[in-house]
Structure 1
């Protein structure tokens, strides 16, 4: 670099002082893959996840403080799950027929109203069980319409080779909000009571809905009128069933989610009470799982495995470890390490799965396919939770937990037998996919659409 003043024996020609002056700092810019829609979706998801995970704790304590017992808590939780199962497929069809952001905003408005009324009832006095179940069911209905629309909107908001990084950052924000929301919600319930936490959740839905109202859908082609809602459902089913990798993994997670839900909701607290020292250590273990999911999403911002579903499915095997650790049972430190590892590997699968959907599913069918995915993920959970108690009575808690672990290993191994799961690869060039007529990947080249 030239000096501003020339000294003896140095170049005495004029210098370009403008070139030597400090350059102004460049303003921070979003990465190319983080467009306006993606940024709005991520910010809104962070807000709602933060509120929702605190509200789940608040709802349970609202029932207990109102004189209910653990059975009543289960009824309120079931009231949310039942409409979620009933309306998911319809929600997916609606989201592919109407502008997705309008479906999302309407669902957020319903959640805002239901949580707001729940908060008013709790703050005003002793809410009745049927009232809490009704309002929770309204929230579940909103979630059934929101989830397919939100996933379809997110998948259509990114393109190019950085899609998987975008999904990883999105999931990292979601998982971070879940961990923070649960911790913050528990503290706020203890300090101010459940009513105010429910009110904060209603405000979070209102803020997120306002943000989602500004989403730009001009890049999405107009929807054809089609043949009606039933025809849309049939078309979504054909898209779903025509891809063995898709329905195979959904069936896998129907079983895996069900047994994990039973282990976490029923057996985990019981093992913690009898062997680990109570609710504190169990909460710590769950916190380590949440931290693992954040770490896994962070890992996937850098790692881009070529064989998407093969690597992702291999990372599902550790999902059996927490049930095995509870069956032994291991010390708290070992359980926390197992939960952290499980969280990391599960996020590797999660990002790989989203990337595969983004590559393979036509844009105008994304919400319907997401609805079948969601439906499969939650359909067996109420049944598994209900059968957890009878299974413990019939076989013993340890045997039931080992059954959970073995079930996960078996269904995951079976999915690896599906050829498409082993051979589906990440696309490295942004070209339009040309899948075979039966929905299987072309074995002669990598598959995908935008990823």
Structure 2
């Protein structure tokens, strides 16, 4: 429960920062260009911290990395508040620190889950964590808007800092599985490997699992195309084809509701071939851009996004659980950092390219291409060794049901 509470507070604080800064734009205490600068600084901090945190979390205590990452992000929030209407460079620097704290938390929390939760309950634990994230996304905007009636933006930013303190201080210390590398004392005068060298060890560990590399490639392709279609094309289609923002709001709400349903399902369901079921779920994201290609009834678009939401959690929960089970314990944080670095790190590139692509080739062609990638990438990944069960040892010839 302490682990879940800390992870939930981390997720809520991560989501809340751009939303609260958006409220500042609405209240004219921040310009739209300044908002873009702050979000870009946060993204840079996130991407810079993820690989470093992966190495630190494998080198030292995962609990300690969570603590310091949460404290850094928590300290940055009131600095952002102090810079509001005073110093945009100060806010940008603090936003970069906040992003670094967010990025450092992600691989550390993934590895800490493997320490705190026994193997038989990790799928339920991962489902519970992703469920909390989806509930936050669903009820967060209305809650923040309600709080904004009584509190100004600075107070809300300080509240984000308090959430990060919860994320930093509440999680428990796990029992770290011992390995030969960890239990052997370094000899006197031994020189520790550099950060790039230690991160490269994590990359080599990832290469030992073909199913992981294939799945990560598919996830990266889906996020770079399907997520970009959601972020850029959905508002355009909602405005130009349907003439109302209701389709946009309905699609995003349906996606979150579908993800909630998918997380609840994965808390109990144990598919016979978890890898292929997960990749099939990931492919369901293709219905999101596909629903925007043709002139369909407005109800079809939210329905397509609901299917995409269900599918993404059919993928996420077994994906995290398999990594915690299959990856060497002393390299789990580095492998997780590689996961976040590629899958989420390339998302801004997709967002940056999709609008020019739509201008050059038209929305229909670009959305059809995005849908094709979303369907084809997971199907290709399903052919990799071990993809059927997300396990090299059980990747071939095992037809028994996997239970935990």
TM over 0.5: yes
TM-score normalised by length of structure 2:
0.89
SS at match of 2:241: helix
- Distance in 2 separating the partners of 1:403 and 1:191: 46
Counterpart of 2:75 in structure 1 is 113
Alpha-carbon offset, residue 45 of structure 1: 1.7
Which residue of 57, 77, 84 maps to 2:19? 57
Alpha-carbon offset, residue 177 of structure 1: 2.2
Alpha-carbon offset, residue 319 of structure 1: 0.1
Cα root mean square deviation, aligned: 2.6
Which residue of 147, 169, 176 maps to 1:188? 147
| Deviation readout 1:105-146 (Å, 9 max, x if unpaired) | 111111111111112333xxx144333322211111112211
Q: Which structure 1 segments of 5+ residues have no match?
A: 1-38, 426-434
Which residue of 317, 322, 329 maps to 1:356? 322
Task: Tell whether the 8 Å contact from 1:104 to 1:145 is kept in structure 2 after alignment.
Answer: yes
Alpha-carbon offset, residue 257 of structure 1: 0.8
Counterpart of 1:48 in structure 2 is 10
TM-score normalised by length of structure 1:
0.80
- Distance in 1 separating the partners of 2:93 and 2:127: 35
- Distance in 2 separating the partners of 1:332 and 1:349: 27
- Distance in 1 separating the partners of 2:260 and 2:196: 39
- Distance in 2 separating the partners of 1:416 and 1:63: 44
| Deviation readout 1:125-175 (Å, 9 max, x if unpaired) | x14433332221111111221111111101222224333222222221222
Task: Sort the Cα spacing of 1:196 and 1:333 in 2 relative to 1 into closer, same or farther, 3 A.
Answer: farther
Task: Tell whether the 8 Å contact from 1:160 to 1:450 is kept in structure 2 after alignment.
Answer: no
Task: Tell whether the 8 Å contact from 1:310 to 1:421 is kept in structure 2 after alignment.
Answer: yes
Which residue of 9, 21, 40 maps to 1:78? 40
Normalized per residue, the structure richer in helix is 2
Alpha-carbon offset, residue 67 of structure 1: 5.0
- Distance in 1 separating the partners of 2:246 and 2:152: 20
Task: Tell which deviates more after alignment, 173-182 or 311-320.
Answer: 173-182
Task: Tell which deviates more after alignment, 173-182 or 111-120.
Answer: 173-182
SS at match of 1:327: coil
Task: Tell which deviates more after alignment, 159-168 or 340-349.
Answer: 159-168
Counterpart of 2:31 in structure 1 is 68
Task: Tell whether the 8 Å contact from 2:387 to 2:395 is kept in structure 1 after alignment.
Answer: no
Task: Tell which deviates more after alignment, 223-232 or 291-300.
Answer: 223-232
Larger Rg: 1
Counterpart of 2:331 in structure 1 is 365
Q: Which structure 2 segments of 5+ residues have no match?
A: 187-191
Question: Within 5 A, what are the aligned runs for 1:366-405?
Answer: 366-405=332-371
Task: Sort the Cα spacing of 1:398 and 1:73 in 2 relative to 1 into closer, same or farther, 3 A.
Answer: farther
| Deviation readout 1:225-245 (Å, 9 max, x if unpaired) | 553433321211110122111
Task: Sort the Cα spacing of 1:387 and 1:442 in 2 relative to 1 into closer, same or farther, 3 A.
Answer: closer
Counterpart of 2:189 in structure 1 is none
Alpha-carbon offset, residue 387 of structure 1: 1.2
Counterpart of 1:422 in structure 2 is 388
